[in-house]
Amino acid sequence: MFCFNPTTFIIRCLSALFVFGILCPLSASDNSYGYPIENPLAATIIGTPQEYQANLSVPRKVKLFKLKVFKDRVTPNYFWYNDKITYGLFQQKQKAPLIFIIAGTGGNYTGPKMTTMSSAFYNAGFHVVTLPSPTYMSFIIAASNSSVPGLLDEDSHDLYNVMKLAWSTQLKSRIEVSDFYVTGYSLGGAQTAYLAYIDEQQKFFNFKKALVINTPVSLLNSVDILDDYLDNNIKTGKEFRVFWQKIWNTATERFVASPTSQLQLTPESLFEAYKDQNPKDEDLEALIGTAFRISAASLMVTADVMSQSGYIVPKGTKAKITADVTDYFVVAHRTGFMEYAQELMLPFYQGRDPEITFEKLVQRASLYPLEDYLRNSKKIGLMHNEDDIIMAPGEMDWLKDVFGDRSKIYPRGGHLGNMAYKDNVAYMVEFFEN
């Protein structure tokens, strides 16, 4: 049987398996930052091998909570298991500061990056609350006001509501909290910035500090890059079959040769492969593009059904749990996030406000509306990588300019590859302790 949770299993499998065959030799790094992987695509896939990781003991007990957000919302039968969202709490015994962690695109309350962060903060003495991304399926169904995720302001308001509700109904009576903090990675980083901003107005939590990690600047610029990673390298089903077989064939060869009976998908085993083999960037791109596409396909079909947009699933369609939905699977996995934005999001939001143009939508899916706030708010910091693959030209400069001396930019690590690296973990914790 499986040894991983499904999201991790699939993304890691795809990533891990493929990496076995295709990674390039390690190039020498000559500066003081010790994260070992130079290629940002490879770093994104591999993560941080054990010997480079911060020494984190993983807290044993996470308490899971289920939250019903909208009393009257009817969950379609096909999605029965998503009538509530789930979030996690790592609880200190005594009064302590509480930190909310927001997952990245398509991310649940758990997963390798959530584990790294929650362990780091728990060990540093924080109560930790891990929240799913507003792009995660059950959040779209049970906690999103519009059920059409992608606009940072809307999605962050949904998150803020969830946080308030969770605190008032489930957490307040259970834990003693001194101060509130918030952080998030990738898309969750961008939402962290918005949450800090919303909190300035509503003053419910009065966040003392907020750390934005590997955030996109313009969501649609970033998804365009990720769409292209797949579309430029794999154009047809036939090509995908070749790619898929290559993944499994390489994995099988490595598995047969390895002295274990379990398929190893750890950063260490990938790093070993990395040092053995010769990668092509096109294959790394296709892999990252595939992983992103799986998230995007899930998001768009869920949003489509919940908003009854009739984009991929016709309006009014009812499916029993036993129904063959392969056709929707195929269409969704062959549709880019950019098409979703233009053909589902835009008409949906125009239905609410005819004035909205695509340009306005792009703007609301970016950090630009918060520029003044981010420039002047001393409580918000940034942690990012110079070589992050999701950044369009000029965006990193914009971030550096806006965050100024509140930014910490590492020279490499790709997109979140270095999150578990010891310097990065130390910085995350120090940021909130000081």
Partner 1 sequence: MKARSFFQVSLILFALGLSACATTQPDVGDETATRQLSDVLPAGDEIVVKDFYDPWEGYNHWMYNFNARFDRYIFIPTVNAYKSVVPGIARTGIHNFFKNLGEFSNLANLLLQAKPTQFGRTFGRLVVNSTIGIGGLMDPATSFGLYHQNEDFGQTLGHWGLGPGPYFILPIVGPSTLRDAPSKIIDRIFHPVYEPVPWLVDIKSEEQLALGLLNGVDTRANIGFRYYEMGSPFEYYWIRNFWLEYRKLQISK
Contact call for residue 81 and partner 1 (CB under 8 A)? yes
Shortest CB 330 distance to partner 1, Å = 6
Q: The tokens 């010891």 sit on which residue? A: 422
When binding is defined by CB under 8 A, the residue of 27, 73, 330, 401 that contacts partner 1 is 330
Contact call for residue 74 and partner 1 (CB under 8 A)? no
Span of 47-55, 148-156, 251-259, 378-386 interacting with partner 1 by CB under 8 A:
251-259
Number of other CB atoms surrounding residue 310 within 10 Å? 14
Residues 354-383 that bind partner 1 (CB under 8 A): none
**What CA–CA distance (Å, rounded) separates 399 from 378?**
15
DSSP state at residue 384? E
Contact call for residue 58 and partner 1 (CB under 8 A)? no
When binding is defined by CB under 8 A, the residue of 101, 313, 402, 428 that contacts partner 1 is 313
First to last CA, the chain: 45
The SS3 of residue 375 is helix
Number of shown-chain residues binding partner 1 (CB under 8 A) = 75
When binding is defined by CB under 8 A, the residue of 71, 93, 320, 378 that contacts partner 1 is 320
Q: What are phi and psi of 156, to 5 degrees?
A: -70, -35
> Nearest CA to 363 among 341, 339, 390, 388?
341
**Paired sense of beta strands 127-131 and 209-213, if any:** unpaired
Structure tokens at 266: 């750890």
Binding letters toward partner 1, positions 221-240, x by CB under 8 A: --------------xxxx-x
Contact call for residue 68 and partner 1 (CB under 8 A)? no
Shortest CB 143 distance to partner 1, Å = 13
Binding letters toward partner 1, positions 93-122, x by CB under 8 A: -------------xxx-x------------
Structure tokens at 1: 């049987």
Contact call for residue 326 and partner 1 (CB under 8 A)? yes
Contact call for residue 255 and partner 1 (CB under 8 A)? yes
Task: List, in sequence order, every beta strand (DSSP E) within 18-95.
Answer: 63-67, 85-90
Residues 333-352 that bind partner 1 (CB under 8 A): 333-335, 339, 343-344
**Please, which residues have CB within 8 angstroms of residue 90's CB and are 6 or more apart in sequence?**
59, 61, 62, 63, 118, 121, 122, 127, 128, 129, 130
Shortest CB 83 distance to partner 1, Å = 11
